[in-house]
A and B are shown apart, each in its own frame.
Chain A
Amino acid sequence: MLLLARAPKAWHRLFQLKPLALPGTPGGKAQHVRYQLFSTPSPAETGRQGQPQGPGLRTRLLVTALIGAGLGGAWLAVRAEKERWQQQQRTEALRQAAVGQGDFSLLDHRGQVRCKADFRGQWVLLYFGFTHCPDICPDELEKLVQVVRQLEAEPGLPPVQPLFITVDPERDTVAAMARYVQDFHPRLLGLTGSAEQIAQVSRSYRVYYSAGPKDEDQDYIVDHSIAIYLLSPDGLFTDYYSRARSAEQISDSVRRHMAAFRSVLC
């Protein structure tokens, strides 16, 4: 009730703010208005209102707060709408990426052709290496299958598909891959292909590799980037793990991704 009585007068005071916005009068009128708004009411004003200073100030503050709240609410609503739109765009981009990007056509260690779509619906832990690798690849693969075993032991978690793709297609034939993967895990799938196919899949996953000089035995070491990649059931790159990460840390991370996963493909 009080507010309704005060409101017109308070709005009247707000309209007096307008001259402040104009660059015209530096001194004079603008100053006068500002002074009027923030100072104690002059005797003439007090006379007009017939009220002491207190309620007048409270009214002003209340109206300012209400306007502030209104603006704040509007801003939040607009921001929420913008975030919703951005999320839609992101989901659409991911959907397109899931279908198009990172596709490959390689031979597994049993001689069967495999492409990315074959692994849709499964979580994949992927490692790029070569069978003639002195120590890093066996260590990383051992760590990878340890993660797979740890997660296998947990009820309610989907099985993770371990994949090993060679960066040495010249030597790593289907037979060589078969000999190699058997030492690690029964479900570890080795993938190989032609030099072009391997170059293509390495490009898709941003894997660097470079064969070193050959020695008298025609042996050589392939320098390559070292990382274990996690692919979601949509076939999208989700995370990567460097040499420094332990099997436990990787298992924890995979578990978290599994819990948070929402498919973008129908």
Chain B
Amino acid sequence: MDLSPLGMAAPSMKERQACWGARDEYWKCLDENTEDASKCKKLRSSFESSCPQQWIKYFDKRRDYLKFKEKFEAGDFQPSKMTAKS
């Protein structure tokens, strides 16, 4: 990626697809290991080297949201005791 005065150029289609592939591999590993990131260190570093930092933060947040949504839809989520009292 060449550096322009405004920072790095946007990833090309190939670079995007490489990033998404690495992300999907990493997420598949997390799915298989019940979110245990320590078991997926290699895929994590591959993911981090394939994607811009902003995208990694974005995808991590997205992962959190998707997992939360799964729990919520399965009815696993319980309101904390604090909110019940207030």
Contacts and interface: CB of A to CB of B under 8 A. Distances in A.
A215 B52 CA distance: 11
B84 interface: no
A179 B15 CA distance: 13
A171 B13 contact: no
Interface stretch (A39-47, A104-112, A132-140): A132-140
Interface in B1-19: 6-13, 16
A170 B6 contact: yes
A181 to B, nearest CB: 11
Interface residues of A, number: 18
Interface stretch (A65-73, A196-204, A217-225, A235-243): A217-225
A216 B53 contact: yes
Interface stretch (B31-39, B54-62, B63-71, B74-82): B54-62
Nearest to B57: A215
Contacts of B20: 135
A151 interface: no
A219 B12 contact: no
Contact of B52 (A170, A171, A180, A217): A217
Contacts of B58: 134, 221
B9 A219 contact: no
B54 A221 contact: yes
A237 B80 CA distance: 46
Contact of A219 (B13, B52, B59): B52
A134 B55 contact: yes
Given A134-B58, A134-B59, A138-B16, A217 B9 contact: no
A131 interface: yes
A118 interface: no
A179 B53 contact: no
A217 B54 CA distance: 9
A176 B9 contact: yes
Interface in A117-135: 131-132, 134-135
Interface of A: 131-132, 134-135, 138, 170-171, 176, 179-180, 183, 215-221
14 contacts: A134-B55, A134-B58, A138-B13, A138-B16, A171-B6, A171-B7, A171-B10, A179-B9, A179-B12, A215-B57, A216-B53, A217-B8, A217-B53, A219-B54
